[in-house]
């Protein structure tokens, strides 16, 4: 073995040992954990708008079947935005209307873009990758304008407050992708006037929709399937309070 070969081998060996030592140090000394699926870990596991000061915002958008979280992002005009996009389920897309932002939301990956909205207005977020039955209704929006005052909403009483919270959940949890509230047919039955409605079931039975039935359908979707529809409603992880808010909202439609 000539001398230069020996030097090359020693240098390569030293580099590998160095990299390995750096990995061990990062994992044990610095406590850096490399997640196996970034979509499952904070801060990319849920939508967020973070004010970094100086009209600079970090916006985390989670694209999931079939809604964007958050569904609506309010920002002041001229804001510099760092946009981070992730997905916990399947591949989605994100196109922000009238901007150069066109990203893929791939499970396990965080994609990013930097943008600025110079003029006030509404800019739709659109999923441009086919992602299932709710795809064509998967959209959100950026609203650029004076920020709404962040004063706490006046506390309404009982079912009214529940219905208002339920209306928000209805959009956030993606229910809106399949259930319309104006009577037009969707992927799932419309919820307009659903309370007290007599429904035919896919198995030939009938049911009169009451509060208990609505709650049961939210907690255990597909235990009863309406005639003409498919048993495809996902079971959402909801707290009891969230279920009650959704029931109050659906009853109010
Ligand atoms: Cu999400 Cu198409």
Tens digit of each residue's pLDDT (9 = 90 or more) over 89-146: 899 999 999 998 999 999 888 999 999 987 899 999 999 999 999 899 899 999 998 7
**Element (DSSP H or E) covering residue 144:** strand 139-144
The number of the ligand 1 atom at minimal distance from the alpha carbon of 90 is 1
Interval 171-196: pLDDT, tens: 777 787 788 887 877 778 888 888 88
Ligand 1 site: residues with CB under 6 angstroms? 63, 66, 92, 127, 129-131, 135, 138
Q: Supply the residue whose CA is at minimum distance from atom 1 of ligand 1.
A: 92
Cβ atoms of residues 123 and 96 within 8 Å: yes
Label the pairing between strands 92-96 and 121-126. antiparallel
Burial of 31 (0-12, 13-18, 19+ CB in 10 A): exposed
Give ranges for CATH 1.10.760.10 in the chain: 161-252
Cβ atoms of residues 211 and 226 within 8 Å: no
State the distance from the centre of ligand 1 to the C-alpha of 50, rounded, in angstroms: 24
Q: Which of 179, 200, 209, 173 is closest to 191 using CA atoms?
A: 179
pLDDT band at 11 (very low <50, low <70, confident <90, very high): very high
State the distance from the centre of ligand 1 to the C-alpha of 170, rounded, in angstroms: 18
State the distance from the centre of ligand 1 to the C-alpha of 189, rounded, in angstroms: 20
Interval 47-87: pLDDT, tens: 999 999 888 999 999 999 899 999 999 999 888 999 999 99
Give ranges for CATH 2.60.40.420 in the chain: 40-144
State the distance from the centre of ligand 1 to the C-alpha of 91, rounded, in angstroms: 7
The number of the ligand 1 atom at minimal distance from the alpha carbon of 130 is 2
Label the pairing between strands 56-64 and 80-86. parallel
What class has domain 40-144?
mainly beta
For domain 161-252, give the CATH number. Answer: 1.10.760.10
């Amino acid at each position: 073995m000539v001398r230069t070969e020996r030097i090359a081998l020693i240098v390569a060996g030293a580099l590998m040992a160095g990299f390995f030592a750096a990995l061990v140090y990062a994992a044990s000394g610095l406590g850096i954990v490399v997640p196996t699926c970034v979509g499952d870990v904070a801060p990319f596991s849920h939508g967020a708008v973070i004010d970094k000061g100086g009209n600079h915002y970090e916006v985390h958008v989670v694209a999931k079947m079939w809604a964007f979280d958050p569904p609506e992002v309010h920002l002041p005009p001229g804001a510099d935005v760092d946009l981070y996009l992730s997905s916990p389920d399947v591949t989605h897309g994100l196109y922000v209307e009238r901007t150069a932002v066109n990203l893929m939301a791939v499970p396990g990956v965080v994609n990013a873009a930097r943008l600025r909205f110079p003029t006030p207005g509404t800019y739709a977020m659109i999923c441009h990758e086919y992602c299932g039955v709710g795809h064509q209704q998967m959209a959100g929006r950026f609203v650029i304008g004076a920020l709404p005052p962040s004063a706490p909403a006046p506390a309404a009483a009982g079912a009214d407050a529940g219905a208002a919270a339920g209306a928000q959940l209805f959009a956030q949890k993606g229910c809106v992708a399949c259930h319309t509230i104006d009577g037009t047919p969707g992927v799932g039955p419309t919820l307009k006037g659903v309370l007290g409605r007599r429904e035919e079931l896919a198995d030939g039975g009938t049911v009169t929709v009451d509060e208990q039935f609505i709650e049961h359908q939210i907690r255990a979707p597909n235990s009863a399937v309406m005639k003409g529809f498919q048993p495809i409603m996902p079971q959402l992880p909801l707290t009891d309070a969230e279920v009650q808010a959704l029931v109050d909202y659906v009853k109010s439609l």
